[in-house]
Chain A
Protein backbone atom coordinates (compact mmCIF):
# COMPACT_ATOMS: atom_id res chain seq x y z
CA UNK A 1 0.00 0.00 0.00
CA UNK A 2 2.93 2.34 0.64
CA UNK A 3 4.12 3.97 -2.58
CA UNK A 4 7.69 5.27 -2.27
CA UNK A 5 7.65 7.08 -5.59
CA UNK A 6 4.47 8.92 -4.64
CA UNK A 7 5.77 9.71 -1.16
CA UNK A 8 8.91 11.17 -2.73
CA UNK A 9 6.87 13.28 -5.11
CA UNK A 10 4.76 14.91 -2.37
CA UNK A 11 7.55 15.42 0.16
CA UNK A 12 8.79 18.74 -1.33
CA UNK A 13 5.25 20.18 -1.12
CA UNK A 14 5.11 19.30 2.56
CA UNK A 15 8.60 20.58 3.35
CA UNK A 16 7.64 23.87 1.72
CA UNK A 17 5.08 24.68 4.43
CA UNK A 18 7.34 23.89 7.40
CA UNK A 19 8.27 27.59 7.70
CA UNK A 20 4.57 28.55 8.06
CA UNK A 21 4.09 25.91 10.73
CA UNK A 22 7.19 26.98 12.65
CA UNK A 23 6.36 30.68 12.28
CA UNK A 24 2.87 30.22 13.73
CA UNK A 25 4.28 28.27 16.68
CA UNK A 26 7.11 30.70 17.39
CA UNK A 27 5.01 33.86 17.01
CA UNK A 28 2.29 32.28 19.15
CA UNK A 29 4.90 31.39 21.75
CA UNK A 30 6.29 34.94 21.84
CA UNK A 31 2.76 36.30 22.29
CA UNK A 32 2.09 33.75 25.04
CA UNK A 33 5.30 34.75 26.84
CA UNK A 34 4.39 38.43 26.60
CA UNK A 35 0.82 37.91 27.83
CA UNK A 36 1.67 35.28 30.42
CA UNK A 37 3.72 37.55 32.65
CA UNK A 38 1.09 40.30 33.11
CA UNK A 39 -1.51 37.58 33.76
CA UNK A 40 0.70 36.04 36.43
CA UNK A 41 1.39 39.43 38.00
CA UNK A 42 -2.26 40.49 37.91
CA UNK A 43 -3.35 37.26 39.60
CA UNK A 44 -0.94 37.97 42.44
CA UNK A 45 -2.19 41.50 42.87
CA UNK A 46 -3.57 42.39 46.29
CA UNK A 47 -6.30 44.40 44.58
CA UNK A 48 -9.23 42.03 44.23
CA UNK A 49 -10.78 43.93 41.34
CA UNK A 50 -7.66 43.24 39.27
CA UNK A 51 -6.81 39.73 40.48
CA UNK A 52 -10.30 38.28 40.30
CA UNK A 53 -11.39 39.09 36.71
CA UNK A 54 -7.97 38.14 35.33
CA UNK A 55 -8.08 34.82 37.21
CA UNK A 56 -11.61 34.11 35.94
CA UNK A 57 -10.69 35.01 32.37
CA UNK A 58 -7.58 32.88 32.39
CA UNK A 59 -9.37 29.87 33.92
CA UNK A 60 -12.06 30.20 31.28
CA UNK A 61 -9.51 30.25 28.43
CA UNK A 62 -7.69 27.28 29.94
CA UNK A 63 -10.84 25.21 30.36
CA UNK A 64 -12.22 25.62 26.86
CA UNK A 65 -10.84 24.11 23.65
CA UNK A 66 -8.43 26.05 21.45
CA UNK A 67 -10.49 25.00 18.42
CA UNK A 68 -13.58 26.88 19.62
CA UNK A 69 -11.47 29.92 20.53
CA UNK A 70 -10.07 29.94 17.00
CA UNK A 71 -13.62 29.78 15.62
CA UNK A 72 -14.53 32.78 17.77
CA UNK A 73 -11.57 34.71 16.34
CA UNK A 74 -12.37 33.96 12.70
CA UNK A 75 -16.19 33.84 12.76
CA UNK A 76 -17.35 36.14 15.55
CA UNK A 77 -14.79 38.93 15.36
CA UNK A 78 -15.61 39.98 11.78
CA UNK A 79 -19.34 39.71 12.44
CA UNK A 80 -19.67 41.32 15.87
CA UNK A 81 -16.71 43.66 16.14
CA UNK A 82 -15.95 44.26 12.48
CA UNK A 83 -12.40 43.00 12.91
CA UNK A 84 -11.31 40.67 10.13
CA UNK A 85 -8.17 38.70 10.86
CA UNK A 86 -6.26 36.63 8.32
CA UNK A 87 -6.36 32.93 9.23
CA UNK A 88 -2.65 32.97 10.05
CA UNK A 89 -2.96 35.99 12.33
CA UNK A 90 -6.03 34.53 14.02
CA UNK A 91 -4.11 31.29 14.51
CA UNK A 92 -1.17 33.07 16.11
CA UNK A 93 -3.43 35.10 18.40
CA UNK A 94 -5.50 32.04 19.34
CA UNK A 95 -2.45 29.92 20.11
CA UNK A 96 -0.76 32.77 21.96
CA UNK A 97 -3.78 33.62 24.06
CA UNK A 98 -4.58 30.00 24.91
CA UNK A 99 -1.05 29.16 26.00
CA UNK A 100 -0.49 32.48 27.78
CA UNK A 101 -2.72 31.07 30.53
CA UNK A 102 -0.45 28.02 30.79
CA UNK A 103 2.71 30.14 30.74
CA UNK A 104 1.30 32.42 33.43
CA UNK A 105 1.31 29.37 35.71
CA UNK A 106 4.95 28.76 34.79
CA UNK A 107 5.83 32.35 35.67
CA UNK A 108 3.88 31.98 38.90
CA UNK A 109 5.84 28.90 39.94
CA UNK A 110 9.06 30.76 39.14
CA UNK A 111 8.04 33.78 41.21
CA UNK A 112 6.92 31.55 44.10
CA UNK A 113 10.30 29.84 44.14
CA UNK A 114 12.12 33.08 44.99
CA UNK A 115 13.03 32.79 48.69
CA UNK A 116 11.19 35.09 51.12
CA UNK A 117 14.49 36.50 52.32
CA UNK A 118 15.01 38.12 48.93
CA UNK A 119 11.79 40.12 49.34
CA UNK A 120 12.69 41.07 52.87
CA UNK A 121 16.20 42.09 51.82
CA UNK A 122 14.73 44.35 49.11
CA UNK A 123 12.56 46.03 51.71
CA UNK A 124 15.54 46.37 54.05
CA UNK A 125 17.49 47.99 51.22
CA UNK A 126 14.61 50.41 50.71
CA UNK A 127 13.99 49.24 47.12
CA UNK A 128 10.65 50.36 45.74
CA UNK A 129 8.20 47.84 44.29
CA UNK A 130 9.24 48.30 40.67
CA UNK A 131 12.92 47.96 41.49
CA UNK A 132 12.27 44.87 43.62
CA UNK A 133 10.47 43.18 40.76
CA UNK A 134 12.84 44.22 37.99
CA UNK A 135 16.16 43.81 39.79
CA UNK A 136 15.52 41.10 42.37
CA UNK A 137 12.47 38.92 41.78
CA UNK A 138 12.14 38.51 38.01
CA UNK A 139 15.87 37.94 37.31
CA UNK A 140 15.76 35.06 39.77
CA UNK A 141 12.38 33.63 38.85
CA UNK A 142 12.61 33.45 35.07
CA UNK A 143 15.82 31.49 34.37
CA UNK A 144 14.72 28.33 36.26
CA UNK A 145 11.54 28.24 34.16
CA UNK A 146 13.39 28.17 30.81
CA UNK A 147 13.20 24.36 30.33
CA UNK A 148 9.46 24.38 31.08
CA UNK A 149 9.05 27.26 28.62
CA UNK A 150 10.95 25.21 26.04
CA UNK A 151 8.54 22.35 26.61
CA UNK A 152 5.61 24.66 25.99
CA UNK A 153 7.15 25.86 22.72
CA UNK A 154 7.22 22.20 21.62
CA UNK A 155 3.65 21.69 22.84
CA UNK A 156 2.53 24.73 20.83
CA UNK A 157 4.37 23.48 17.76
CA UNK A 158 2.45 20.21 18.04
CA UNK A 159 -0.79 22.16 18.43
CA UNK A 160 -0.39 23.96 15.09
CA UNK A 161 -2.30 21.27 13.11
CA UNK A 162 -5.43 22.59 14.85
CA UNK A 163 -4.95 25.77 12.83
CA UNK A 164 -5.84 23.77 9.69
CA UNK A 165 -9.45 23.97 10.92
CA UNK A 166 -9.42 27.72 10.24
CA UNK A 167 -7.74 27.15 6.85
CA UNK A 168 -4.19 28.10 7.79
CA UNK A 169 -2.08 26.34 5.18
CA UNK A 170 0.26 24.43 7.47
CA UNK A 171 1.49 20.83 7.29
CA UNK A 172 -1.73 18.98 8.03
CA UNK A 173 -3.81 21.21 5.74
CA UNK A 174 -1.34 20.62 2.91
CA UNK A 175 -1.43 16.86 3.53
CA UNK A 176 -5.23 16.94 3.48
CA UNK A 177 -5.27 18.79 0.17
CA UNK A 178 -2.73 16.39 -1.34
CA UNK A 179 -4.61 13.38 0.03
CA UNK A 180 -8.01 14.44 -1.18
CA UNK A 181 -6.65 15.14 -4.67
CA UNK A 182 -5.31 11.62 -5.13
CA UNK A 183 -7.25 9.65 -2.50
CA UNK A 184 -3.91 8.49 -1.14
CA UNK A 185 -3.99 9.57 2.49
CA UNK A 186 -1.49 7.06 3.84
CA UNK A 187 1.66 8.65 2.47
CA UNK A 188 0.64 12.26 3.10
CA UNK A 189 -0.47 11.81 6.72
CA UNK A 190 2.39 9.47 7.59
CA UNK A 191 4.93 11.94 6.22
CA UNK A 192 3.39 14.77 8.25
CA UNK A 193 3.61 12.60 11.36
CA UNK A 194 7.26 11.81 10.63
CA UNK A 195 8.09 15.48 10.01
CA UNK A 196 6.56 16.41 13.36
CA UNK A 197 8.42 13.63 15.13
CA UNK A 198 11.72 14.56 13.47
CA UNK A 199 11.33 18.19 14.54
CA UNK A 200 9.86 17.74 18.01
CA UNK A 201 11.73 14.71 19.38
CA UNK A 202 15.28 16.18 19.14
CA UNK A 203 13.97 19.48 20.55
CA UNK A 204 12.49 17.69 23.54
CA UNK A 205 15.78 15.83 24.10
CA UNK A 206 17.52 19.20 24.01
CA UNK A 207 15.13 20.61 26.61
CA UNK A 208 15.63 17.54 28.82
CA UNK A 209 19.42 17.96 28.58
CA UNK A 210 19.10 21.64 29.47
CA UNK A 211 16.92 20.73 32.44
CA UNK A 212 19.46 18.19 33.73
CA UNK A 213 22.29 20.64 33.29
CA UNK A 214 20.48 23.38 35.19
CA UNK A 215 19.69 20.99 38.02
CA UNK A 216 23.35 20.00 38.22
CA UNK A 217 24.46 23.63 38.30
CA UNK A 218 21.89 24.38 40.94
CA UNK A 219 23.32 21.66 43.15
CA UNK A 220 26.81 23.06 42.65
CA UNK A 221 25.46 26.46 43.56
CA UNK A 222 26.27 28.14 40.26
CA UNK A 223 22.80 29.02 39.00
Chain B
Protein backbone atom coordinates (compact mmCIF):
# COMPACT_ATOMS: atom_id res chain seq x y z
CA UNK B 1 0.00 0.00 0.00
CA UNK B 2 3.03 2.26 -0.07
CA UNK B 3 2.27 3.58 -3.51
CA UNK B 4 -0.93 5.14 -2.18
CA UNK B 5 1.15 7.41 0.07
CA UNK B 6 -1.61 7.55 2.64
CA UNK B 7 0.79 9.08 5.18
CA UNK B 8 0.51 12.32 3.17
CA UNK B 9 -3.19 12.58 3.87
CA UNK B 10 -3.34 13.91 7.47
CA UNK B 11 -1.45 17.15 6.72
CA UNK B 12 -3.27 17.56 3.41
CA UNK B 13 -6.67 17.10 5.06
CA UNK B 14 -5.72 19.73 7.62
CA UNK B 15 -5.14 22.09 4.71
CA UNK B 16 -8.32 20.95 2.98
CA UNK B 17 -10.28 22.09 6.05
CA UNK B 18 -8.92 25.63 5.55
CA UNK B 19 -9.71 25.43 1.82
CA UNK B 20 -13.30 24.38 2.48
CA UNK B 21 -13.79 26.94 5.25
CA UNK B 22 -12.44 29.65 2.98
CA UNK B 23 -14.69 28.43 0.14
CA UNK B 24 -17.84 28.51 2.27
CA UNK B 25 -17.17 31.95 3.80
CA UNK B 26 -16.21 33.40 0.41
CA UNK B 27 -19.32 31.98 -1.24
CA UNK B 28 -21.49 33.72 1.37
CA UNK B 29 -19.60 37.02 0.97
CA UNK B 30 -19.63 36.74 -2.83
CA UNK B 31 -23.36 36.01 -2.79
CA UNK B 32 -24.04 39.18 -0.78
CA UNK B 33 -21.95 41.29 -3.17
CA UNK B 34 -23.59 39.63 -6.17
CA UNK B 35 -27.09 40.54 -4.92
CA UNK B 36 -26.04 44.04 -3.93
CA UNK B 37 -24.31 44.79 -7.23
CA UNK B 38 -26.79 42.90 -9.41
CA UNK B 39 -29.77 44.75 -7.93
CA UNK B 40 -27.76 47.99 -7.72
CA UNK B 41 -27.07 47.93 -11.45
CA UNK B 42 -30.81 47.86 -12.07
CA UNK B 43 -31.47 50.69 -9.62
CA UNK B 44 -33.54 53.76 -10.52
CA UNK B 45 -30.75 55.99 -9.24
CA UNK B 46 -27.99 56.69 -11.74
CA UNK B 47 -25.40 57.15 -9.01
CA UNK B 48 -26.04 53.67 -7.57
CA UNK B 49 -25.84 52.17 -11.06
CA UNK B 50 -22.56 54.00 -11.74
CA UNK B 51 -20.93 52.87 -8.49
CA UNK B 52 -21.97 49.25 -8.94
CA UNK B 53 -20.95 49.14 -12.60
CA UNK B 54 -17.53 50.56 -11.71
CA UNK B 55 -17.07 47.91 -9.04
CA UNK B 56 -18.13 45.10 -11.36
CA UNK B 57 -16.01 46.22 -14.32
CA UNK B 58 -12.90 46.72 -12.19
CA UNK B 59 -13.14 43.32 -10.57
CA UNK B 60 -14.05 41.54 -13.79
CA UNK B 61 -11.44 43.43 -15.78
CA UNK B 62 -8.43 42.52 -13.64
CA UNK B 63 -7.61 39.11 -12.35
CA UNK B 64 -8.20 37.40 -9.04
CA UNK B 65 -4.52 36.90 -8.27
CA UNK B 66 -3.75 40.60 -8.84
CA UNK B 67 -6.66 41.55 -6.57
CA UNK B 68 -5.44 39.10 -3.95
CA UNK B 69 -1.91 40.54 -4.03
CA UNK B 70 -3.21 44.08 -4.07
CA UNK B 71 -5.45 43.52 -1.05
CA UNK B 72 -2.81 41.57 0.88
CA UNK B 73 0.34 43.57 0.05
CA UNK B 74 -0.70 47.01 -1.21
CA UNK B 75 -3.89 47.84 0.71
CA UNK B 76 -2.31 47.52 4.18
CA UNK B 77 0.43 49.96 3.08
CA UNK B 78 -2.12 52.45 1.75
CA UNK B 79 -4.42 52.37 4.77
CA UNK B 80 -1.87 51.39 7.37
CA UNK B 81 -3.91 48.41 8.59
CA UNK B 82 -2.96 44.80 9.15
CA UNK B 83 -4.90 42.12 7.28
CA UNK B 84 -4.53 38.44 8.00
CA UNK B 85 -4.07 36.24 4.93
CA UNK B 86 -7.49 34.73 5.62
CA UNK B 87 -9.23 38.13 5.70
CA UNK B 88 -7.47 39.24 2.54
CA UNK B 89 -8.42 36.01 0.81
CA UNK B 90 -12.09 36.27 1.79
CA UNK B 91 -12.24 39.92 0.65
CA UNK B 92 -10.56 39.15 -2.69
CA UNK B 93 -12.57 36.01 -3.46
CA UNK B 94 -15.80 37.61 -2.24
CA UNK B 95 -15.39 40.78 -4.29
CA UNK B 96 -14.13 38.97 -7.41
CA UNK B 97 -16.80 36.29 -7.59
CA UNK B 98 -19.39 38.76 -6.32
CA UNK B 99 -18.70 40.83 -9.44
CA UNK B 100 -19.19 37.79 -11.69
CA UNK B 101 -22.25 36.73 -9.70
CA UNK B 102 -23.83 40.16 -10.09
CA UNK B 103 -24.06 39.50 -13.83
CA UNK B 104 -25.95 36.28 -13.09
CA UNK B 105 -28.33 38.19 -10.80
CA UNK B 106 -28.82 41.03 -13.27
CA UNK B 107 -29.40 38.88 -16.34
CA UNK B 108 -31.81 36.60 -14.46
CA UNK B 109 -33.87 39.52 -13.22
CA UNK B 110 -33.96 40.99 -16.73
CA UNK B 111 -35.09 37.60 -18.05
CA UNK B 112 -38.30 37.63 -16.00
CA UNK B 113 -41.10 38.25 -18.52
CA UNK B 114 -42.26 41.85 -18.75
CA UNK B 115 -45.90 40.83 -18.28
CA UNK B 116 -45.07 39.80 -14.71
CA UNK B 117 -43.85 43.30 -13.92
CA UNK B 118 -46.86 44.87 -15.60
CA UNK B 119 -49.22 42.51 -13.76
CA UNK B 120 -47.73 43.37 -10.37
CA UNK B 121 -48.01 47.07 -11.18
CA UNK B 122 -51.63 46.49 -12.15
CA UNK B 123 -52.13 44.78 -8.77
CA UNK B 124 -50.90 47.99 -7.14
CA UNK B 125 -47.82 46.41 -5.58
CA UNK B 126 -45.07 48.65 -4.29
CA UNK B 127 -41.67 48.29 -6.07
CA UNK B 128 -40.40 46.40 -3.03
CA UNK B 129 -43.32 43.97 -3.03
CA UNK B 130 -42.95 43.52 -6.75
CA UNK B 131 -39.28 42.53 -6.40
CA UNK B 132 -39.77 40.45 -3.25
CA UNK B 133 -42.94 38.58 -4.25
CA UNK B 134 -42.97 38.39 -8.02
CA UNK B 135 -39.69 39.10 -9.79
CA UNK B 136 -37.05 37.74 -7.44
CA UNK B 137 -38.61 34.29 -6.82
CA UNK B 138 -38.76 33.70 -10.58
CA UNK B 139 -35.28 35.09 -11.20
CA UNK B 140 -33.87 32.97 -8.37
CA UNK B 141 -34.61 29.72 -10.23
CA UNK B 142 -32.73 31.06 -13.25
CA UNK B 143 -29.77 32.16 -11.12
CA UNK B 144 -29.01 28.74 -9.65
CA UNK B 145 -27.10 27.16 -12.56
CA UNK B 146 -24.96 30.28 -12.95
CA UNK B 147 -24.21 30.37 -9.23
CA UNK B 148 -23.37 26.67 -9.29
CA UNK B 149 -20.69 27.19 -11.93
CA UNK B 150 -19.26 30.18 -10.07
CA UNK B 151 -19.01 28.16 -6.86
CA UNK B 152 -16.82 25.58 -8.59
CA UNK B 153 -14.70 28.38 -10.06
CA UNK B 154 -14.40 29.91 -6.60
CA UNK B 155 -13.30 26.62 -5.07
CA UNK B 156 -10.59 26.31 -7.73
CA UNK B 157 -9.68 29.96 -7.21
CA UNK B 158 -8.94 29.34 -3.53
CA UNK B 159 -5.77 27.47 -4.58
CA UNK B 160 -4.22 30.88 -5.33
CA UNK B 161 -4.25 31.83 -1.63
CA UNK B 162 -1.24 29.56 -1.25
CA UNK B 163 0.67 32.42 -2.91
CA UNK B 164 -0.15 34.74 -0.01
CA UNK B 165 0.93 31.96 2.40
CA UNK B 166 -2.47 30.98 3.73
CA UNK B 167 -2.14 27.37 4.90
CA UNK B 168 -4.69 25.83 2.52
CA UNK B 169 -4.40 22.38 0.97
CA UNK B 170 -2.08 23.59 -1.80
CA UNK B 171 0.18 25.21 0.79
CA UNK B 172 0.33 22.01 2.82
CA UNK B 173 1.18 20.08 -0.32
CA UNK B 174 3.99 22.43 -1.23
CA UNK B 175 5.32 22.26 2.35
CA UNK B 176 5.34 18.46 2.21
CA UNK B 177 7.17 18.75 -1.08
CA UNK B 178 9.89 20.85 0.50
CA UNK B 179 10.57 18.04 2.98
CA UNK B 180 10.99 15.40 0.30
CA UNK B 181 11.09 16.47 -3.33
CA UNK B 182 11.09 12.86 -4.55
CA UNK B 183 7.48 12.55 -3.40
CA UNK B 184 6.25 15.41 -5.57
CA UNK B 185 4.21 13.19 -7.94
CA UNK B 186 2.30 11.56 -5.07
CA UNK B 187 1.66 14.90 -3.35
CA UNK B 188 0.37 16.58 -6.50
CA UNK B 189 -1.73 13.54 -7.38
CA UNK B 190 -3.39 13.73 -3.97
CA UNK B 191 -3.95 17.46 -4.38
CA UNK B 192 -5.69 16.90 -7.72
CA UNK B 193 -7.83 14.12 -6.26
CA UNK B 194 -8.83 16.17 -3.20
CA UNK B 195 -9.78 19.18 -5.31
CA UNK B 196 -11.71 16.94 -7.68
CA UNK B 197 -13.66 15.34 -4.84
CA UNK B 198 -14.41 18.76 -3.36
CA UNK B 199 -15.65 20.26 -6.61
CA UNK B 200 -17.61 17.17 -7.52
CA UNK B 201 -19.34 17.23 -4.14
CA UNK B 202 -20.15 20.90 -4.70
CA UNK B 203 -21.58 20.05 -8.14
CA UNK B 204 -23.81 17.36 -6.61
CA UNK B 205 -25.05 19.72 -3.89
CA UNK B 206 -25.87 22.36 -6.49
CA UNK B 207 -27.68 19.85 -8.68
CA UNK B 208 -29.73 18.56 -5.74
CA UNK B 209 -30.77 22.03 -4.65
CA UNK B 210 -31.65 22.95 -8.23
CA UNK B 211 -33.92 19.94 -8.45
CA UNK B 212 -35.57 20.87 -5.16
CA UNK B 213 -36.29 24.43 -6.24
CA UNK B 214 -37.58 23.39 -9.64
CA UNK B 215 -39.79 20.74 -8.02
CA UNK B 216 -41.39 23.37 -5.81
CA UNK B 217 -42.44 25.30 -8.89
CA UNK B 218 -43.60 22.41 -11.03
Contact = CB atoms under 8 A, between A and B. Distances in A.
A68 B195 contact: yes
Contacts of B67: 193
A67 interface: yes
Most buried by B among A1, A68, A160: A68
Interface in B61-95: 61-63, 65-67, 69-70, 73-74, 77-78
B57 interface: yes
The SS class assigned to the A binding surface is helix
Given A68-B159, A189-B73, A193-B70, A63 B195 contact: yes
Contacts of B191: 68, 71
B62 A197 contact: yes
Nearest to A202: B61
B156 interface: yes
Contacts, number: 105
A153 to B, nearest CB: 14
Interface size class of B (residues with CB under 8 A): 35 or more
Nearest to B65: A161
B1 to A, nearest CB: 20
A200 B62 contact: yes
Interface stretch (A12-20, A75-83, A214-222): A75-83
B156 A66 contact: yes
A172 interface: yes
Nearest 6 Cβ contacts at the A-B interface = A65-B159, A158-B63, A63-B199, A185-B73, A161-B65, A65-B156
26 contacts: A1-B78, A2-B78, A63-B196, A63-B203, A64-B156, A65-B195, A69-B192, A71-B188, A72-B192, A76-B184, A76-B185, A76-B188, A79-B182, A79-B184, A162-B65, A172-B69, A179-B73, A185-B73, A185-B74, A186-B74, A190-B70, A193-B62, A193-B66, A197-B57, A201-B57, A204-B60
